[in-house]
A and B are shown apart, each in its own frame.
Chain A
Amino acid sequence: MIPEIGHFALVLSMCLAIAQAIFPLIGTMNNTPSWAALARPLAWGQALFLTIALGALTYAFLVNDFSVRYVASNSNTLLPTVYKISAVWGAHEGSLLLWAFFLGIWSAAIAVLSKGLTQEVVSRVLAVMGMVNAGFVSFMLFTSNPFERLFQIPAEGRDLNPLLQDIGLALHPPTLYLGYVGFSVAFGFAIAALIGGRLDASWARWSRPWTTAAWVWLTLGITIGSWWAYYELGWGGWWFWDPVENASFMPWIAGTALMHSLAVTEKRGAFRSWTLMLAILAFSLCLLGTFLVRSGVLTSVHAFAADPDRGIFILIFLLITIGGSLALYAWRAPSIFSGGRFDLISRESFLLGNNLLLTVFTFLVLFGTLAPLIYDALEWGKISVGFPWFNKMFLMVTPFLAVLIGFGPLMRWKRTDPKKLVKKLRIAMIVSVVIGLIAFLPAISTGSLLVPLGMFLVAWIITSHITAIIDRLKHKQGISHIFADLAGKGRSYYGMVVAHMGVAMFILGATMVSHHGVEKDLRMSPGESAEISAYRFKFEGVAHTPGPNYTANQGEFTIYLDGEVEAVLKPQKRTYFAQGRPMTEAAIDWGLTRDLYVSLGEDLGGGDWSVRLYYKPFVRWIWLGGLAMAIGGIICISDRRYRSKKEKKPQQAYTEAANTLVTEKS
């Protein structure tokens, strides 16, 4: 009965989504306020019914209702309760439901938090989001219904994929999806602006906090995914350039470009059409990502069993969304060169540089990800693009970005005096070059040019931002102003600083672990030791140990540093009862300066095991960097100016912009 309620709620939410796509939009076009006003209640209703649907599916998992096909294929009576809940989105159907649910939640959030916006804008944004969700919920109902019943009810479920029986599944998909779906809001604002033809600075201001929020979730989702893959897949890598990772990374890069471009559009009115294009691009890439994951057209660690119907449905949906929005764009977008003028050395042009680099990088990743499909379609052969290629492309773009980051905060809008800029940054430049030169020492560089480059960039980002903060506070008179700045007025500025520090932390971690990490695959007998970097790993042996829904062989390793015990690690090789599948569970002793990582391979007989031993210096900084970026984003959203109760009238905004122009000129 409960699954039917869920199913029914899903159908209702589809009807509401369709209504939400049609009536509010028409209402704003032919001036029917009563129709336009439907947007908010419809968004509420949709969120409510999607919550009921998700709740019903969760309930089916909790009570082991194996008459529901999805539950039977992805759960088991022995599965611990926590994993039963996260198993709800552990496979195709449920993860789509989560997607739609989050879209409902974002829509409801817009309905609640948009008090300052005109009814017209709210109605249009929600209408666009209604269209998107109508597509998703109907996709679910027609091709992948999570509530489908089985008529021969199995006594036991097939169990959740052992790799997914982890806290990572509880965290990674929800955060990532919140990000993916969140970009539909930025998309909605862009489309609403295009429909309305009002492309002034105000839409950029409304769109900014929402875009940043989506970006924060996406950042967290990718970071958690990377961390999860690191400890769960048992081979210690943190990024594989897998098609599906790329699928989440591309909207992130485009989204990063969008955030920066929105700043220019809001403050200066420039880059308007460019910003609109990025909003469309970011969300299109989110949809493309979903298509790549769900259709199975690309070989990937995330690939589920493929179903061509699903692929075609999403492809059509993708074409309609992207084609439709691009057509609208071509028809409505303002000419590229509209907006304020600026000099070559100005914040605008540096942000433009940032945008160009990020966009180029997005397309490189897109090309590398789709190249196997293109080659196959052209019958050039079946290729796979290895991660050396992606790494090379990454290294071709990011150093330039990292250099620009350092200049950014000290740049002024419209025009910066290059001489003054160089004077301000002189100390920062000298310090970072010196640090870069020190890193040429063979012990640090390990013979690679990338280590000095990385260390230079880390030092450059940190020192230039310190310079920028000092410069900013110098102009504030009195302690009270400085505190006011820190506490409230300058939130978005400090958010930016924190996020940029995250970039430095990431570069530090990635450089160190790539060049100083040690990995060894060995055959070890009990009592044998192996030296990894300064550490001695002693293999004590393997013993059986039981688990709730598996049995495991548990190895024991004692790790010594200078003769003292540093850590005892117990990696496991598990066999899950339900599917009889083996699973490697690595053991990690983590620290800020290094991770020690051990995973078990196979039993080679006679007590010998194949083992994998790692020394991973500074690997945590990669994820701490991601976390810092997300925290920076949150600080930006908390800026008070997004919370102004009343919407500024457009004329007023223009007058203000004009006033700023005048003041800046004088």
Chain B
Amino acid sequence: MKPRHKRIVFAVIAVVAIGIAAKLIIASIDKGSSYFYSPMKVLAGEAPKDQVFRIGGLVKVGSMQRIGKTLTVEFIITDDQSAEITTHYTGILPDLFKEGQGVVAKGRLRDDGIFNAEEVLAKHDEKYLAPEVKDALEEAHNEATNKKEKSQ
């Protein structure tokens, strides 16, 4: 082979290899990541049934309670409008978890509509609201105002 041919073969191999690698990485990232759904979308049945996903909103004031003598705690995640998702979590809640504050939970939706959280995140800075949660709250708020305007 001439050096020029060698280089072309090398370039082709490199391009193919990079392509395959990119494909694999994107596929694996799809598998390894969790999508975010607002409480409204979950109620509308848009969230996957058999897959881990994230949900976020505010912890409804007065909704938090312990279940028996276990470490399981129940609370409602709300978008501050009409959508509410009852959530169960077994374990120790983060320090900044508080009723009325923003929260993101990662887990699965059970058949009975209860969200089984495997992980609960509340952020380290109380001024801080996760961007997804902020969007979800705004969206719900806009929807509610739209409805009101229509009915008037």
Residue numbers of A with Cβ under 8 A of B are: 161, 163, 234-235, 296-297, 299, 301-306, 364, 367-368, 371-372, 381-386, 388-389, 392, 521-523, 579, 581-584, 599, 601-602, 604, 610-612
Contacts and interface: CB of A to CB of B under 8 A. Distances in A.
A604 B66 contact: yes
B54 A384 contact: yes
B125 interface: yes
29 contacts: A161-B125, A163-B124, A235-B92, A297-B131, A299-B123, A299-B132, A301-B123, A306-B131, A364-B25, A367-B25, A371-B33, A381-B36, A382-B35, A382-B36, A383-B34, A384-B33, A384-B106, A385-B29, A385-B32, A385-B33, A389-B28, A389-B32, A389-B33, A521-B71, A521-B92, A523-B70, A602-B92, A611-B92, A612-B92
A604 B73 CA distance: 11
A162 to B, nearest CB: 9
Contacts of B124: 161, 163, 301-302
Shortest beta-carbon contacts, A-B, top 4 = A389-B32, A601-B92, A382-B36, A383-B33
Interface residues of B, number: 32
B99 to A, nearest CB: 13
B65 to A, nearest CB: 12
A386 B34 contact: yes
A299 B131 contact: yes
Contacts of A386: 32-34
A599 B135 CA distance: 34
Contact of A305 (B93, B104, B106, B125): B125
Contacts of B32: 385-386, 388-389, 392
A367 to B, nearest CB: 7
Contacts of A381: 35-36
Given A305-B127, A384-B54, A610 B92 contact: yes
Contacts of A584: 95
B130 interface: yes
A382 B34 CA distance: 8
Given A299-B104, A299-B131, A382-B132, 4 more contacts: A522-B71, A579-B126, A601-B71, A612-B92
Contacts of A304: 125, 128
A274 B124 CA distance: 40
A392 B35 CA distance: 19
Given A368-B29, A523-B70, A383 B36 contact: yes
B117 to A, nearest CB: 14
Given A384-B33, A523-B69, A234 B125 contact: no
A599 B125 CA distance: 21
B28 A392 contact: yes
B113 interface: no
B71 A305 contact: no
* A299, A388, A612: residue with the most chain B Cβ atoms closer than 10 Å: A299
